[in-house]
């Protein structure tokens, strides 16, 4: 019953997480697109009201005319729509899902003793530390290198470069400490924490300060808008790395590779460069070379993570089904038997094992992603034995 309830928690939290993430990312992408398509107003009445840019668009059978004020409108309306709950619920649902899937099952999902042999409490504390340290380091980079003495924003290239170096280091460090699948997820969660913290600590407080100053009749400083825009632009470049790190942990060929940290860095860099291309394209800048670089990176990844060709042991006959079943019974059936058939896969009978032979070969012999984090301590000789059986035709 406990496993059944955890499956429902997994489903509902994952559902909520995806829906809120779509809402947050969609709004973020839209406003970046909107900023890059605004035109200087020509109408005198718009200039007199302080409108800095406007756009005419058609959608869903209606016409829209969004306008952006350089600092704030002269008369603030009572009803304002805020964009922040999408961010908060995405982070909260993601953290809850991370807790249910990984923190509650740290021995199985966080720890791979071939990578780093430590206790579950230490692994959990370190995973949470990655989330907190990611925000603290990122925020200090922005404060120390992105804020001029007069409080204005500058040095964007240096700031983005330092952020990239830090994220790359975090990817390497996570892959030295955690199971590969968990490491990919933790790096993505760290970046997502940075993004949501930007909204919570900088973007929304700055907007609230502007509104408070306007309602009190005080002069509105443009610095709040500048800092909010800086963090918002960072978020749009970080979105693709978050998504690719989250999705890639479902593919064992990526996180189980000996250089999985490099695989993750290249994937995130490719995502960020692709997003950069979209932003530049929206500004009318020709940036096709970026896509060429991304294509070359993907080609390099395809070569890097390619499966090694099967090599049969010289002079060794294919083992019998009974020998293979003895290994599978000891290493696999506890999760792929009649009582608990993970992913709908059963390996507790000769017929089921032969039917799943190609998948077993892929996951156990080639990619070595199963057993998960080698929790059952399958040996290399046992993997080779299964491999020879499959190469020999998986005979009964």
Phi and psi at 189, nearest 5°, equal -65, -35
Residues of the chain with pLDDT under 70: 1-2, 308-316, 338
User: Exposed, middle or buried, 258 (CB in 10 Å: 0-12/13-18/19+)?
Assistant: exposed
What pLDDT does residue 202 have?
Answer: 95
What pLDDT does residue 308 have?
Answer: 66
Phi and psi at 202, nearest 5°, equal -125, -55
What pLDDT does residue 309 have?
Answer: 63
Residue 247 near residue 233, CB atoms below 8 Å: no
What pLDDT does residue 250 have?
Answer: 82
User: Exposed, middle or buried, 109 (CB in 10 Å: 0-12/13-18/19+)?
Assistant: buried
- What does 154-192 look like in DSSP terms, one character per residue? --HHHHHHHHHHHHHHHHHHHHHHS-HHHHHHHHHHHHH
Residue 106 to residue 119: CA distance in whole angstroms: 9
Residue 189 to residue 202: CA distance in whole angstroms: 19
pTM of the full structure: 0.84
What pLDDT does residue 29 have?
Answer: 92
Residue 338 near residue 346, CB atoms below 8 Å: yes
What pLDDT does residue 298 have?
Answer: 94
What pLDDT does residue 310 have?
Answer: 56
């Amino acid at each position: 019953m406990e496993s059944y309830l955890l499956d429902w928690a997994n489903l509902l939290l994952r559902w909520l997480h995806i829906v809120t993430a779509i809402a947050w990312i969609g709004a973020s992408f839209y406003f970046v697109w909107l900023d890059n398509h605004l035109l200087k107003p020509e109408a005198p009445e718009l200039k007199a009201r302080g409108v800095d840019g406007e756009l005419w668009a058609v959608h869903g059978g209606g016409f829209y005319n969004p306008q952006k004020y350089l600092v704030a409108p002269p008369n603030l309306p009572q009803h304002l729509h805020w964009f922040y709950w999408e961010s908060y619920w995405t982070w909260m649902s993601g953290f809850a899902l991370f807790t249910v899937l990984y923190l509650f099952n740290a021995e199985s999902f966080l720890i791979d003793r071939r990578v780093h042999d430590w206790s579950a409490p230490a692994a959990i504390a370190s995973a949470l530390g990655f989330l907190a340290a990611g925000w603290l380091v990122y925020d200090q980079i922005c404060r120390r290198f992105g804020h001029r003495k007069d409080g204005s924003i500058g040095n964007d290239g240096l700031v983005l470069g330092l952020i990239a170096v830090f994220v790359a280091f975090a990817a390497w460090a996570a892959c030295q400490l955690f199971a590969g699948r968990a490491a990919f997820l933790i790096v993505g969660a760290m970046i997502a924490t940075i993004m949501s913290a930007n909204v919570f600590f900088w973007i929304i407080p700055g907007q609230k300060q502007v509104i408070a100053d306007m309602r009190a009749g005080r002069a509105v400083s443009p610095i709040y808008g500048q800092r909010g825009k800086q963090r918002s632009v960072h978020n749009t470049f970080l979105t693709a790395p978050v998504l690719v790190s989250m999705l890639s942990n479902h593919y064992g060929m990526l996180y189980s590779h000996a250089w999985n940290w490099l695989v993750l860095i290249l994937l995130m860099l490719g995502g960020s460069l692709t997003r950069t291309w979209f932003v530049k394209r929206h500004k009318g800048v020709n940036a096709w070379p970026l896509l060429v670089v991304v294509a070359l990176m993907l080609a390099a990844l395809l070569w890097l993570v390619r499966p090694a060709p099967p090599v049969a042991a010289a002079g060794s006959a294919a083992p019998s089904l009974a020998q293979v079943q003895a290994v599978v019974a000891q290493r696999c059936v506890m999760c792929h038997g009649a009582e608990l058939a993970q992913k709908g896969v059963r390996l507790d009978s000769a017929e089921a094992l032969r039917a799943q032979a190609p998948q077993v070969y892929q996951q156990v012999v080639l990619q070595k992603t199963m057993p998960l984090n080698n929790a059952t301590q399958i040996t290399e000789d046992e993997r080779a034995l299964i491999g020879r059986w499959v190469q020999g035709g998986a005979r009964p």
